[in-house]
Structure 1
Amino acid sequence: MEAGRARLAVLLFAGSTLLLALGGVLWLVDSRDAADVLWLVGTAGGLAVALASTAGAVRRHRPTVDVIALLALGGAIAVGEYFAGAVITVMLATGQLLDARADARARRELRLLLERSPRTARRRVADGLVEVSVDEVATGDTLLVRTGEVVPVDGRLLTPATLDESALTGEPLPVEQPAGGTARSGAVNAGAPFDLLATAAASESTYAGLVRLVEQAQAASAPFVRLADRLAVVFVPLTLLLAGGAWALTGDPVRAVAVLVVATPCPLLLAAPIAYISGLSRATRVGVVIKGGGALERLAAARVIMFDKTGTLTRGRPQLVGTVMAGGDLTADELLRLAASLDQMSPHVLATSIVSAATARGLDLELPTEVVEEHGYGLSGTVGGRQVALGKRAWIVPDPAPAWAQRARRRASLDGSMTVFASVDGEAAGAFLLEDVIRPDAPRMVHGLREAGIRRVVLVTGDRADTAETVGRIVGTDAVNAECDPGEKLAVIHAEREADVVMMVGDGVNDAPALAAADVGVALAARGATASSEAADVVLTVDRVDALADAILIAQRSRRIARQAVGIGMGLSLLAMAAAAAGLLPPAAGAVLQEGIDVLAIGLALRAVLPGRTHTVTLPHADVVMGHELRAQHEASLVVVEEIRAVADQISTQAPDLVPVRGLLDRLRTVLLTHEHADQAQLVPLVARALGAPATYALTRTHAEIEHQVGRLGRLLGDIPDEGAQPEDMVEVRRLLYGLYGVLRLHNAQEDETAHSLLPPAEASRLVSSRPPAEPRA
């Protein structure tokens, strides 16, 4: 339908322009009758299009300025002003063409949802397995779901399973389900093959319901009234009153036609679409695709914004954020190197995170041998002659769990992290903590949205309430709605829409219904197209959510310029209408004058393609290079930050030992403080140049506090003899270390949000795609 409309607009524009031009040539060679015939044909074509457009608006019960063009074209034919009619047709065709391009919105197809839907299932029968259509699965059937396959129907697990439910809940971390647990259709088997007892048919299962939600949300989406149509409520009656008055007072229908000709609302039909197309072009340059002028108008009008959490305010993939060591001679770096070497053979999402973290640290990985996967437990193999195993605590650490293992599980529970335990040569060696961390640019983006006019920021997610509340506090939302399924997200959106224009931002299949239901749906598609990008009005093609604040500023500026161009154009048209009513402008001269007004309105509208105020800060090339270098040093220093907590955790008042603390102090001075001094000398001025000096005050203060705390630790250790440390000495050392660790976590979060988020998207993505095992965030 959209393609047909675009083709019709092109044909009308080409045909009407050709007829007008050929008629002009014939008129110049004194073939005026032939010229009138061509202009009459052009006028008749415009009349047919205006009639169809007006009839469509009447059917939809919507106001339209096309009724003026309809009357002007009909009047031009009635009084024999064919040239004026042909000019009006060209203006109308130009508006139709630009409007079709500006409002050409991508179809909100369910193609990706449907493509992802399972077509077949493997049903267990007496003599083995048989592959059947998913529609043939009945309640009570036993199915086999192999690794990597989508669960075909809702069911109960007959064997344990590891499920990736991100398509349903948005939660990126796999879920371990025991035998007897439930599995929903649409989840992906992220572990070993498992058996499933079907508890629902395919048409009644979760994924089919998700598809229906998208369809219903699309059907319920209310149309958005265009600027031109809104102004038509006032402009059309005014025009008819003026034209009718001129005819009634003078008895000359030509005057009425002249009024209608100059009243043809081409500034409305041309200026607004041109300003919007220019705005769409500007948005594309910052990595935001806005699907048409209607979407741009709604984006500019949005005052409430709702975010999904996973992949939107957070990275959307687990990252290594901490390591808890069991003790012994093995260092955290060496344990990570061994684990990552083994995990190179595993496609598991957590294995990818561990390998990425080791690569980011520059550790040399080896190819493992004798790799064996214990389904449901973990992975084992040989790395450089050492036996390495990774997996669940129960498989790696025998009961009763030692203190370090309990500490790791407690930290994971408090932070909403997952754990991967590791053993080396048969001895438990440590545990890795993995977490979906907050995007560094998310807090700045929320501030930018508020500056752009967003009055309310809401987090709506299927994740746990405690995790969602933490994210909401850090990024600065006004409300948090947690543990919401797709249907509950729709209910929240409908409630918010009662008060204002609502924008929904999401990433993933599970967000598609909410994006389709909101006034403006925004999808993040930097890592590939999903059903959410099909359902969205706006698509971010860069992996930076702060580009959304730029898109809103661009949309608001484009709408403002469109209104200015329309206002000036229509003001001049009103003056011309008064002149025509007074008999000073015949229809032909009025048509030419109207073309001049159109050119002026178009020129004003084209200002939208010029750069305007944006939220994103563009750094000079030299600052970008320096920022990358400092960011690499920052990543390296995070190893020392993690060591602070590890050393503090191992301090004992029963057997005081200051050797690890003294070694840590040496690394704090040579690695950490060296980096902090470089940051103060180079990064702080960089931020000041980009954001202004006040943005650096907190960074400077924490740099001073870090150096102060390291100095206090040095003085304390200097007062304690190597032999004969007392329990109260160890308590004081541990207190200082935990305090320093807390300051560094906050400081690293400040650097991420204030400085590192300024780096260009491609480079920033490359540098932070894999976070090393430290805990830099609160």
Structure 2
Amino acid sequence: MKAIVLIIALGGLVAGGLLWLTGRHDLANITWFVCVLPALLSLVVEVLRAIAREEVGLDIIAAVSMSFALAFGETLAAAVVAVMYSGGTFLESFAEGRARREMLALLARVPRTAMRKRDGTLEEIPLDEVEPGDLLLIRQGDVVPVDGTVNSAKAFIDTSALTGESMPVSTLEGTEVMSGSTNAGDAFEIVTLRRASESTYAGIIRLVEDAQRSKAPMSRLADRWSLGFLAVTLLIALGAWWMTDDPIRAVAVLVVATPCPLILAVPVALVAGLSRAAQYGVLIKGAAPLETMARIKTLILDKTGTLTDGRPQIVSIHSHGAFSDDEVLRLAASLDQASKHPVAQAMVTAAQSRGLVLSLPSEVAEIPGEGVVGGIDGHRVMVGGDTFVARRIGRTSDDQPPQEVGAVIVAVAVDGHTAGHLVMADPLREGSQQMLARLRNQGVERILLATGDRVEVARRVTEGLGLDGLRAGLTPDQKVLLVLTERKNRPVMMVGDGVNDAPALAAADVGVAMGARGAAASAEAADVVLLVDRVDRLLPGIEIAQAARRIALQSVVAGIGLSVIGMVVAALGHLTPVEGAVLQEAIDVAVILNALRALRIRPEAPSGDAAT
């Protein structure tokens, strides 16, 4: 529709110009008059709809200027305004479409079918028929259709479309892969974890669609500014008319003020910022959170899974007797291949990363929550909590476990004797201290830790980070209370990943969820989802939000300033209505092009990332 109105207005302007040049002035004026009507009619409809919504925007200035120009016989000026306004709205739509290009690319990559292996055969099935536990073949170049775990020895995965990671990563058997990733290597198999509609990529698509329908606070604020700008415009126009008794000066003032960059610059800049942030693995659910994100002064961080990795890692190994550290780990990991416990899986991963060759366990018996017993290479091996192992083999003074605050101690026994202890902990994410320092440089004034863990554990983990406060032992409702208390003083961002964080994320001005491994509830409650399991993605996210907001404000201030200057010049009689309309057209094009600079924002990427 916008394109049709633009074509009629532009065609009428050109046709009227040709008629004028051939001396048929009356017919030219009629042509210009007629070509203005569709634009004016659509504009009046928009104004009435806005009034019905109790909104008064700058569209009313364009309607008044066209109406005044037609009423006083300035049909050429009215035609230029019609082309200007319809062209501006069309350009705005085009610019927003250009800004959403990277987001829409997600939609284009949605796979429609999957290759399922069943009963020794391959069958291509619709994505909706995939069930949890199905075995799927992911061919080279295929997009992973649903979340699953690798069922082959290894896989080479490209997650750039989701996370912005510039290099593909190699994953081992048992590693979870996100839907939406691309197979960058040989074909491999996955065992599906959930249906397509419940998978990571489907959730991302829903968030993208929600983001595209949003309207930013700055856009609403622009509508409020429009009342003041409308008053100034009418004051200058009526003042020029009253002082000179020349209504044409009033028309010239009105056309210079139409349609005003406030209508165009803010949404274009902010939607461009959304698109740019998505390239860095930061999915912001709309222009409103992006604008708020740029003004954040207080940051509240969850500990487990956010500031820390959320997965236990081996801190140290204490071997006993003739066993070496690597042999203790190899025996424990070999047996723990039969367990799904997070600590067991962490030991298997640690052993594989060291290149240790694991043996096949036999006669395995697992006591849930306590430990595992089984045969490894002809030996009877026991792995579990120190109390569990000590109770079965007894303890001597030589095999006392190490004592570390906040650590998990795993005991390993072989043939009834203690072989060693593994100290496991959930350490800080690499680069956390540098990340917090950079956040302060970006304007964050207060950084707090909120955790349900014990206070001594929280203090040990965060020692040396320079936090402004630490709140430990919190329940979900206490986290909400902390967020609400901090919001009384300054805008608050809350970052978390668990179901227990969801209420606090919803209560914050901006809630940020760790989307890669975080709970679905937290991602749903959050305003921002980090698509890669790295909290340092906050850095480019905040920087892009600040830059996009700054560009929007620059466009508005520059556009308004130039429009006011043009109105004053027109009121003094130095601009005709046609000249004023052309001048405003140039101003509007300039501010839209300036707003599109947000597509080229290049934040300082976290270590190891490459700018897109």
TM-score, with normalisation over the residues of structure 2? 0.72
2:271 aligned residue: 277
Which of 381, 397, 410 in structure 1 is aligned with 2:390? 397
1:287 counterpart letter in structure 2? G
Which of 356, 360, 371 in structure 2 is aligned with 1:367? 360
2:427 aligned residue: 437
Query: Is the Cα contact below 8 Å between 2:300 and 2:449 reproduced in 1?
Result: yes
Task: Provide closer, same or farther for how the CA distance between residues 18 and 466 of structure 1 changes in structure 2, counting only shifts above 3 A.
Answer: farther
Task: Provide closer, same or farther for how the CA distance between residues 543 and 77 of structure 1 changes in structure 2, counting only shifts above 3 A.
Answer: farther
Aligned with 1:554: secondary structure?
Answer: helix
Whose strand proportion is higher, 1 or 2? 2
Please report how far the alpha carbon of residue 252 of structure 1 lies from its aligned counterpart in structure 2 after TM superposition: 4.6
Aligned with 2:235: secondary structure?
Answer: helix
Matched, 1:39 2:39: no
Please report how far the alpha carbon of residue 336 of structure 1 lies from its aligned counterpart in structure 2 after TM superposition: 0.8
Identify the range of structure 1 (574-583 vs 468-477) with the bigger mean alpha-carbon deviation.
468-477
* Counterpart Cα distance in 2 of 1:103 and 1:485: 39
Q: Render the CA deviation track for 1:369-391: whole Å, top value 9, x for unaligned.
A: 22222345322211111111222
Q: Render the CA deviation track for 1:152-206: whole Å, top value 9, x for unaligned.
A: xxxxxxxxxxxxxxxxxxxxxxxxxxxxxxxxxxxxxxxxxxxxxxxxxxxxxxx
1:602 aligned residue: 592
1:323 aligned residue: 317
Matched, 1:535 2:529: no
Query: Is the Cα contact below 8 Å between 2:292 and 2:509 reproduced in 1?
Result: yes
Aligned with 2:401: secondary structure?
Answer: helix
Task: Provide closer, same or farther for how the CA distance between residues 77 and 342 of structure 1 changes in structure 2, counting only shifts above 3 A.
Answer: farther
Which of 363, 379, 382 in structure 2 is aligned with 1:386? 379
* Counterpart Cα distance in 2 of 1:385 and 1:458: 52
Matched, 1:503 2:500: no
2:559 aligned residue: 569
* Counterpart Cα distance in 2 of 1:282 and 1:259: 38
* Counterpart Cα distance in 1 of 2:70 and 2:373: 87
Aligned with 2:490: secondary structure?
Answer: coil
Please report how far the alpha carbon of residue 334 of structure 1 lies from its aligned counterpart in structure 2 after TM superposition: 0.6
2:608 aligned residue: 759
* Counterpart Cα distance in 1 of 2:479 and 2:53: 34
Q: Render the CA deviation track for 1:317-370: whole Å, top value 9, x for unaligned.
A: 122222333x21112211110111111111111111010110111111111122
* Counterpart Cα distance in 2 of 1:600 and 1:294: 24
Query: Is the Cα contact below 8 Å between 2:99 and 2:596 reproduced in 1?
Result: no
* Counterpart Cα distance in 2 of 1:231 and 1:478: 37
1:310 aligned residue: 304
1:21 aligned residue: 10
1:459 aligned residue: 449
1:16 counterpart letter in structure 2? V
1:341 aligned residue: 334
1:355 counterpart letter in structure 2? V
Query: Is the Cα contact below 8 Å between 1:444 and 1:546 reproduced in 2?
Result: no
Which of 414, 417, 423 in structure 2 is aligned with 1:424? 414
Query: Is the Cα contact below 8 Å between 2:497 and 2:518 reproduced in 1?
Result: no
1:224 aligned residue: 217
Which of 523, 526, 532 in structure 1 is aligned with 2:513? 523
Q: Render the CA deviation track for 1:84-131: whole Å, top value 9, x for unaligned.
A: 245324424544776799899x9xxxxxxxxxxxxxxxxxxxxxxxxx
* Counterpart Cα distance in 2 of 1:97 and 1:298: 25
* Counterpart Cα distance in 1 of 2:429 and 2:444: 20
Please report how far the alpha carbon of residue 561 of structure 1 lies from its aligned counterpart in structure 2 after TM superposition: 2.6
* Counterpart Cα distance in 2 of 1:35 and 1:69: 16
* Counterpart Cα distance in 1 of 2:241 and 2:383: 90
Please report how far the alpha carbon of residue 44 of structure 1 lies from its aligned counterpart in structure 2 after TM superposition: 1.0
Matched, 1:547 2:537: yes
2:231 aligned residue: 237
Matches within 5 A, 1:46-445: 46-58=43-55, 64-76=57-69, 78-79=71-72, 81=75, 82-83=78-79, 84-92=81-89, 94-95=91-92, 224-226=217-219, 228-229=222-223, 231-232=225-226, 234-325=228-319, 327-398=320-391, 401-403=395-397, 406-408=400-402, 410-411=403-404, 414=405, 416-445=406-435
* Counterpart Cα distance in 2 of 1:404 and 1:236: 85
Identify the range of structure 1 (374-383 vs 439-448) with the bigger mean alpha-carbon deviation.
374-383
Please report how far the alpha carbon of residue 77 of structure 1 lies from its aligned counterpart in structure 2 after TM superposition: 5.8
Task: Provide closer, same or farther for how the CA distance between residues 282 and 34 of structure 1 changes in structure 2, counting only shifts above 3 A.
Answer: same
Task: Provide closer, same or farther for how the CA distance between residues 387 and 291 of structure 1 changes in structure 2, counting only shifts above 3 A.
Answer: same
Task: Provide closer, same or farther for how the CA distance between residues 66 and 577 of structure 1 changes in structure 2, counting only shifts above 3 A.
Answer: same
Please report how far the alpha carbon of residue 270 of structure 1 lies from its aligned counterpart in structure 2 after TM superposition: 2.1
* Counterpart Cα distance in 1 of 2:54 and 2:481: 31
* Counterpart Cα distance in 1 of 2:434 and 2:224: 35
* Counterpart Cα distance in 1 of 2:521 and 2:610: 24
* Counterpart Cα distance in 2 of 1:51 and 1:75: 18
Query: Is the Cα contact below 8 Å between 2:277 and 2:541 reproduced in 1?
Result: yes
Task: Provide closer, same or farther for how the CA distance between residues 407 and 425 of structure 1 changes in structure 2, counting only shifts above 3 A.
Answer: closer
* Counterpart Cα distance in 1 of 2:94 and 2:52: 19
Q: Provide the identity percentage.
A: 44
Displaced runs of 4 or more, over 6 A: 99-104
* Counterpart Cα distance in 2 of 1:304 and 1:75: 51
Please report how far the alpha carbon of residue 397 of structure 1 lies from its aligned counterpart in structure 2 after TM superposition: 1.0
Q: Render the CA deviation track for 1:304-329: whole Å, top value 9, x for unaligned.
A: 1111112211101122222333x211
Task: Provide closer, same or farther for how the CA distance between residues 69 and 527 of structure 1 changes in structure 2, counting only shifts above 3 A.
Answer: farther
1:282 counterpart letter in structure 2? R
Please report how far the alpha carbon of residue 449 of structure 1 lies from its aligned counterpart in structure 2 after TM superposition: 0.6
Query: Is the Cα contact below 8 Å between 1:98 and 1:270 reproduced in 2?
Result: no
Total equivalences in the alignment: 486
Task: Provide closer, same or farther for how the CA distance between residues 541 and 276 of structure 1 changes in structure 2, counting only shifts above 3 A.
Answer: same
Query: Is the Cα contact below 8 Å between 1:373 and 1:379 reproduced in 2?
Result: yes
Please report how far the alpha carbon of residue 420 of structure 1 lies from its aligned counterpart in structure 2 after TM superposition: 2.5
Query: Is the Cα contact below 8 Å between 1:103 and 1:291 reproduced in 2?
Result: no
Please report how far the alpha carbon of residue 405 of structure 1 lies from its aligned counterpart in structure 2 after TM superposition: 5.4
Please report how far the alpha carbon of residue 569 of structure 1 lies from its aligned counterpart in structure 2 after TM superposition: 2.0
Aligned with 2:422: secondary structure?
Answer: strand
Whose helix proportion is higher, 1 or 2? 1
Larger Rg: 1
Please report how far the alpha carbon of residue 402 of structure 1 lies from its aligned counterpart in structure 2 after TM superposition: 3.6
* Counterpart Cα distance in 2 of 1:463 and 1:391: 22
Task: Provide closer, same or farther for how the CA distance between residues 483 and 535 of structure 1 changes in structure 2, counting only shifts above 3 A.
Answer: same
* Counterpart Cα distance in 2 of 1:584 and 1:404: 98
CA RMSD of aligned residues (A): 3.2
1:616 aligned residue: 605
1:195 aligned residue: none
Query: Is the Cα contact below 8 Å between 1:50 and 1:69 reproduced in 2?
Result: no
Structure 2 residues without counterparts, runs of 5 or longer: 20-26, 104-214
* Counterpart Cα distance in 1 of 2:398 and 2:54: 71
Aligned with 1:473: secondary structure?
Answer: coil
Task: Provide closer, same or farther for how the CA distance between residues 488 and 378 of structure 1 changes in structure 2, counting only shifts above 3 A.
Answer: same
Query: Is the Cα contact below 8 Å between 1:343 and 1:355 reproduced in 2?
Result: yes
TM-score, with normalisation over the residues of structure 1? 0.57
Query: Is the Cα contact below 8 Å between 2:92 and 2:592 reproduced in 1?
Result: no
* Counterpart Cα distance in 2 of 1:404 and 1:97: 75
Query: Is the Cα contact below 8 Å between 1:69 and 1:92 reproduced in 2?
Result: no
* Counterpart Cα distance in 2 of 1:565 and 1:377: 63
Task: Provide closer, same or farther for how the CA distance between residues 528 and 494 of structure 1 changes in structure 2, counting only shifts above 3 A.
Answer: closer
Query: Is the Cα contact below 8 Å between 2:269 and 2:598 reproduced in 1?
Result: yes
Q: Render the CA deviation track for 1:54-86: whole Å, top value 9, x for unaligned.
A: 44354xxxx744443454455456556442245
Matches within 5 A, 1:735-746: none
